[in-house]
Amino acid sequence: MGSWISSITRSWSLTVGIIGEVQVRLHVTFLLLVLYIWAMQWNAMGDRVFGRGIAFAALVLGSVIVHEIAHGLAGRGIDQPQRMLILMPIGGITLADDGTGQYRDPGGSWRVAVAGPLANFFLAAIGASVAHTVAPAMRVSALPLVDSANLLRSFVWMNVALGVLNLLPAYPLDGGRLLRAGFARSMHPVKATKLALSLGQAFATIFILAGLVWNYWLMIVGLLLFLAAQLEERSVMFQSVLESLRLEEVMLKDFSTLSPADTLEDALSKAVHTLQDDFPVIRGMDMVGVVSRRRIIEALRAEGNGYVQMVMDRVYQVAQKGESLASGLRKLDTYKLSIIPIVDEGRLIGIVTFQNLMHSMRLLAESRRLKRIADSES
Query: How far, in Å, CA of 85 to CA of 69, rounded?
Result: 11
Lowest mean pLDDT among 7-16, 38-47, 135-144: 7-16
Query: How far, in Å, CA of 300 to CA of 98, rounded?
Result: 38
* Total-model pTM: 0.70
**Mean of pLDDT over the chain:** 84
Query: How far, in Å, CA of 227 to CA of 204, rounded?
Result: 9
User: Are residues 27 and 16 in contact, defined by beta-carbon separation less than 8 angstroms?
Assistant: no
Higher per-residue pLDDT: 287 or 84: 287
* Region for residue 346 given its phi and psi (left: phi exceeds 0; alpha: psi -120 to 50; beta: otherwise): left
User: Are residues 223 and 208 in contact, defined by beta-carbon separation less than 8 angstroms?
Assistant: yes
Q: Please report the pLDDT score of residue 260 as a whole number.
A: 94
Q: What are the pLDDT digits (tens) for 15-32?
A: 888 776 677 889 999 999
Q: What are the pLDDT digits (tens) for 242-252?
A: 667 788 888 88
pLDDT of 8 strictly over 70: no
Q: What are the pLDDT digits (tens) for 57-74?
A: 999 999 999 999 999 888
Query: How far, in Å, CA of 171 to CA of 174, rounded?
Result: 7
Lowest mean pLDDT among 155-159, 206-210, 251-255, 299-303: 251-255
Look at residues 196, 209, 216, 341 and name the one whose alpha carbon lies nearest to residue 279: 341
Position 87 confidence tier, pLDDT thresholds 50, 70, 90: very high
Please tell me the total number of residues recorded for the chain in this structure: 378
Q: Please report the pLDDT score of residue 361 as a whole number.
A: 66
Burial class (CB in 10 A: 0-12, 13-18, 19+), 222: buried
The pLDDT of 115-137, averaged and rounded, is 93
User: Are residues 173 and 165 in contact, defined by beta-carbon separation less than 8 angstroms?
Assistant: yes
The pLDDT of 301-317, averaged and rounded, is 91
> 136-146: b or e for each residue (b if 16 or more CB lie within 10 Å)?
eeeebeeeebb
Query: How far, in Å, CA of 353 to CA of 278, rounded?
Result: 8
Measured CA distances, 162 to 121, 201, 223 (Å): 8, 18, 15
312 contact partners, CB below 8 Å, separation of at least 6: 258, 260, 281, 288, 289, 290, 291, 295
User: Are residues 161 and 144 in contact, defined by beta-carbon separation less than 8 angstroms?
Assistant: no
Instruction: Using alpha carbons only, give the angle 179, 180, 183 rounded to the nearest 5 degrees.
Output: 90
Q: Please report the pLDDT score of residue 1 as a whole number.
A: 40
Query: How far, in Å, CA of 332 to CA of 201, rounded?
Result: 34
Question: What are the boundaries of each domain within the chain?
Answer: 4-244, 248-362
The pLDDT of 325-340, averaged and rounded, is 76
48 contact partners, CB below 8 Å, separation of at least 6: none
In the chain, what percentage of residues exceed pLDDT 90? 38
pLDDT of 85 strictly over 50: yes
DSSP 12: G
Query: How far, in Å, CA of 34 to CA of 243, rounded?
Result: 39
> 290-325: b or e for each residue (b if 16 or more CB lie within 10 Å)?
bbbbebbeebbeeeeebbbbebbeeebebbebebbb
User: Are residues 196 and 171 in contact, defined by beta-carbon separation less than 8 angstroms?
Assistant: yes
Q: Please report the pLDDT score of residue 377 as a whole number.
A: 72
Position 78 confidence tier, pLDDT thresholds 50, 70, 90: low
Position 205 confidence tier, pLDDT thresholds 50, 70, 90: very high
A 10 A CB-CB count for 110 gives 11
Instruction: Using alpha carbons only, give the angle 362, 368, 371 rounded to the nearest 5 degrees.
Output: 140
Give 248-362's CATH code, choosing from 3.10.580.10, 3.30.70.1230, 1.10.10.10, 3.30.413.10.
3.10.580.10
